Amino acid sequence: MVDDMVPEPLRRRYIDTFPDKSAALSAALDLLANGDAAGPRSLRDQAHKLAGSAGMYGFDDVGQLAREIVHSVDGGTADAVGAGLTRDLIAILNSASVRFGL
Amino acid sequence: MRIDLLEDDPDQAEMISHWLTEEGHDVRWYRTGGDLTRALHRDVPDVLLLDWVLPESSGIDVLTWVRQSFLGRIPVVFITAQDSEEHVVTALQAGADDYLVKPPRRRELLARVQAVGRRAGAIQPAEILTGTDPYVVDVGHRMISLRGKSVDLTSKEFDLAAYMFANAGRLVKRGVLLERVWGRSQTITTRTVDAHISRIRKKLAIDETNGWRLISVYQHGYRLERAA
C-alpha cells in the first residue's frame, strides 16, 4: 500500500488529512441522501481530488475507489452506485487513520 | 529548468513539486489560472504543467490564453484526472504538447517534462563525461549507468557522483563538496557528505571489480581513482 519513493514527512502529512477527507466525503454523502442538488457535484469534487493524489502517496486502493466514484457521478449513478462506493472509501480512510494512530 | 505548476490541490502540488525539485528543477506553484497568468506576465518558465479542473478557470482556458498571448511557444503538459479519449484530444488540439493522466508516475512525469523541455530547447544536449568506463556519466540527462544499466540515484547523490567523476584522480575536500553539491547557505554538515559518499560507493558499486575506488583521505576529503 505504501510507496518507498514517498518521503516519510510528505506521506505523514497526507495521512494526517484523512480525517478531514473522510468528513468531507460524509458531508457530500449527506447532501446526496437529502436529495440536495449540490450532492453529486460535491461528491465528485472530493473524489476527484483523492483520485488524483492518493496514488502518488502510495494509496492506490483509495485512488482507484475515488476514480470509480467520479465515474459513477459522471455516469449519473451517484445515488445507486456512488453512495455505496463512498461509504467504502470512508471506511478505508477511517481504518487507515486508526492504523496510523490518528 | 524553470517549471510553473498550476494545480489547485495542495496534496498533489506538494508531491509533484517535490519530484521535480529533487531532480534539480525550479518549481513555482499556482492554485488558480489567474495567479498563473499574472505571474506569466512577469516571467516565462521553460515548461508549464496544467491541471484541467480548477476552481475559477479551467486548464484549457489557461492553455488557450497562453497560445494566443505574447508568450510564444512554452511547452505545456496537462496532468489531469480527465482520462477519456475526448479530453486527451481536446487538450492536444488546443495546443498541449503532452498529456498525463493522474495519478502521474514519478519517473514518467520526469521523463515527459524532460522530453518537452528538450524539444523546446530548454535543455542542452546531453553532456557525457569521458574516461569513466565502465560507468557512463550523462550530466545532461542527470543519469549514471554501470555497464549499460542505469543506477537509481537521488539528485544529491547524482551531483556528488558526477562531481567526483569529473574530478577523478584529484583529492576533493569535504568543504568543496559541501559547497558544490549543497551550496554555501545550507546548514549541512560534513557528516552528510560522508553519508552520501558511502551511499554512492554502494549504489554505484565503486570497487576493484569495476576498476575504481573511492578513498577517504583522513581529515582532508575524498579521491575517486582508478584501481591499480
- Contact at 8 Å (CB) between B46 and B75? yes
Question: Per-residue pLDDT tens for B60-108?
Answer: 999 988 887 756 678 999 998 888 899 999 999 999 999 999 999 999 9
Tell me the domain boundaries of chain B: 2-120, 135-226
- pLDDT tens-digit series, residues B109-126: 999 999 998 887 765 555
CA–CA separation, B184 vs B70, rounded Å? 38
Are domains B2-120 and B135-226 of this chain identical in fold?
Answer: no
Cross-chain residue pair A55–B14, CB shorter than 8 Å: no
Peptide bond into B125 cis (omega under 30): no
- The CATH number that domain B2-120 falls under is 3.40.50.2300
Residues of B in contact with A49 (CB under 8 A): 9, 11-12
Q: Which residue has the cell 466525503?
A: A25
- The helix/strand/coil state of B35 is helix
Q: Do B12 and A5 touch (CB under 8 A)?
A: no
Instruction: Give per-residue burial for B114-124: e unless 16+ CB within 10 Å, then b.
Output: bebbbebebbe
Q: Is the pLDDT of residue B168 over 60?
A: yes
Best probe of the B interface among A53, A67, A68, A74, by most B CBs < 10 A, is A53
Does B53 reach chain A within 8 Å, measured CB to CB? yes
Q: What is this model's ipTM?
A: 0.85
The C-alpha of A67 sits at a distance from chain B's nearest C-alpha, in angstroms, of 8
Q: Measure the CA–CA gap between A78 and A24, rounded to whole angstroms.
A: 16
B178 pLDDT band, cuts 50/70/90, is confident
Q: Which fold has domain B135-226?
A: Arc Repressor Mutant, subunit A (1.10.10)
Q: Among B121, B63, B124, which residue's Cα sits nearest to residue B96? A: B63
Q: What is the pLDDT of residues A12-60, one digit of tens each?
A: 999 999 999 999 999 999 999 999 999 999 999 999 999 999 999 999 9
Contact B65, B41 (CB under 8 A): no
Inter-chain CB proximity A10 and B15 less than 8 Å = yes
- Among A68-77, B31-40, B180-189, the range scoring the smallest mean pLDDT is B180-189
CA B142 to chain centre: 8
**Block residue for cell numbers 521523463:** B111
Expressed in percent and rounded to 5, the helix, strand and coil fractions of chain A are 80, 0, 20
Task: Of B30, B36, B41, give the one whose Cα is nearest residue B71.
Answer: B41
First-to-last alpha carbon distance for chain B, in angstroms, is: 40
